[in-house]
Homo-oligomer: A and B are copies of this chain.
Amino acid sequence: MSGRKIKDLSLHASGKDRVDWARQNMPILRALKQRLSVERPFEGHKIGICLHVEAKTGVWLETLIAGGASIAITGSPGSTQDDTAAYLVKELGVEVFAWRSETFDDHMENAKRVLDTMPTIIADNGGDLHHLLGKDDKYKSLCDSIIGATEETTTGANRLREELPSFAFPTIIINDTMAKRIVENRYGVGISVVDGIMRTTNIMLGGKTVVVIGYGYCGQGVAQRLRGLGAHVTVVDTEPLTQLEAHLEGFRTGVLEDVLGDADIVITVTGRNAAIQKQHFDLMKDGVVLCNAGQNSSEIDIGSLREMAVHEHTLRPKIEQLTLDSGKKFFLLAQGNLINLAGGDGNPIEVMDLGLALQALSLECIALSADTLNNEPQCVPHDIEQATLKAALQEWVDKSHA
């Protein structure tokens, strides 16, 4: 068995069940695995990965391994499924360095362990591996043997562009595709946010006044799905065209300050910090539910709310009651973390099937033709995006009406 640092190898059986269920709902990767197992594009490559160690990722790793890859992987603090990690080690021979309770320092150590395995291709998430390769003297030399990389997130892409202006290899940025924006942001996130709120609170969404702040792709999805459940949705967006679009779509719209007072639930989906600021809390009514579905936990200025509160108490898991001196209560979900991830299971499996297929094909492109790419961050090649979309159509539409 290969190098690893995980919680408990004996958990592998339940990990297998998780991966089995995920695989059942990931037909795009299943089909891809068949082709890759014949063509073996990753033969001789070690792929060093940073990505959530959970069941959907497991199906993706199977696909890469079938294509000839060896794998070393670390996850993110808090998202590792320890049983899935055990399955990956025991059944797939993956070198895993991740456990659920790891700290951020643990995480960066684990990232180094991944690089210590001398990968020739990198699949990064948030730019942590790239950061070490660019900033840590121990790993800089490794860049010579790395032929290329992928980066999953927009945040990671921005970090790359800032930290690493001169670059040693090409990095394909997965998130910068319309395929991900439409499928994942509008449809995946919309549904999973609804799921996250319902399972966290058990409250009725039908008839509730929900203020959705931000009407980009994610916000559109959130607003549409909530309306689909009977909620009374008010959309706030500061861009005039976007507000007009929401208005004509049938949503109430208005300036944040004018509409907050009616809200039973407030959801931020803006992709920027402090969409809800200190002065806004005064405008809300007693008992309002606050949650965030945007980029990070700072869309709501929770720090100020906690300062204002004289009492904090956790009711159900992931529901905090914050009470002001006046007696006014706020209910904060999942500490302001993304409600679909922190309160649910993240994006639906099928959505990740498409996103991870895009990843796998981008890695194949690196393996087969990295030398034809410039050494810089770049978009997913158009033909890869089209091929992934066509595969999704075949599995989701064509086969559905066989």
Contacts and interface: CB of A to CB of B under 8 A. Distances in A.
Given A206-B187, A397-B253, A389 B315 contact: no
A46 interface: no
A12 interface: no
A245 B180 CA distance: 11
B179 A250 contact: no
Contacts of A205: 191, 348
Given A17-B314, A24-B331, A207-B247, A229 B230 contact: no
A397 B243 contact: yes
B240 A386 contact: yes
Interface in A18-58: 18, 20-21, 24-25
Main secondary structure of the interface of A (DSSP, over half): helix
Interface string A365-402: 00000000000000000000110011011001100111
A157 B383 CA distance: 31
B262 A207 contact: no
A106 B81 CA distance: 37
Contacts of A316: 17-18, 21
A283 interface: no
A191 B206 contact: yes
Interface in A94-138: none
Interface string A223-235: 0010111111000
A204 B349 contact: yes
Given A202-B348, A396-B207, A248 B20 contact: no
Q: How many identical chains are in the complex?
A: 4
Contacts of A178: 241
Contacts of A262: 400-401
Given A225-B228, A247-B396, A202 B386 contact: no
A232 to B, nearest CB: 6
A203 B348 contact: yes
A350 interface: yes
A250 B264 contact: no
Interface string A344-361: 111011110000000000
A198 interface: yes
Interface of A: 17-18, 20-21, 24-25, 178-179, 182-183, 186-188, 190-191, 194-195, 198-199, 201-207, 209, 225, 227-232, 240-241, 243-245, 247-250, 252-254, 261-262, 264, 285, 287, 313-316, 319, 321, 329, 331, 344-346, 348-351, 385-386, 389-390, 392-393, 396-397, 400-402
